[in-house]
């Protein structure tokens, strides 16, 4: 990820490393999942779930927002 910030006191140096955490707003009723759980194939965008009988079921999902844009 690239981030553009003011560095007036020159505390950030080229090639430096930082750990950041962003607090992003969440819409009520939205389930957030890591991007690595998304499955994109001919069936569309889905996630795998396990039902009460321990069987895997694929459920379609819709991406509401993408912080990467």
Task: State the Cα angle at 24 between 18 and 28, rounded to 5°.
Answer: 155
**Structural domain contains residue 57:** yes
**Structural domain contains residue 24:** no
**Structural domain contains residue 37:** yes
Digit-coded pLDDT (tens) for 39-62: 999 989 999 999 999 999 999 998
Pairing of strands 44-50, 39-41: antiparallel
**C-alpha to C-alpha distances, 4 to 1, 7, 12, 29, 38, nearest whole angstrom:** 10, 9, 11, 32, 29
Counted domains in the chain: 1
**Residues of the domain holding 64:** 29-69
pTM: 0.52
Lowest mean pLDDT among 1-5, 33-37, 64-68: 64-68
**Structural domain contains residue 34:** yes
**Structural domain contains residue 53:** yes
**Structural domain contains residue 1:** no
């Amino acid at each position: 990820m690239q981030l553009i910030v003011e560095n007036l006191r020159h505390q950030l140096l080229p090639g430096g490393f930082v750990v950041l955490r962003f607090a992003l707003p969440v819409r009520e009723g939205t389930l957030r999942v890591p991007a690595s759980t998304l499955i994109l194939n001919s069936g569309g965008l889905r996630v795998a779930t396990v039902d009460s009988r321990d069987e895997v079921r694929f459920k379609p999902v819709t991406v509401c927002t993408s912080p990467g844009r």
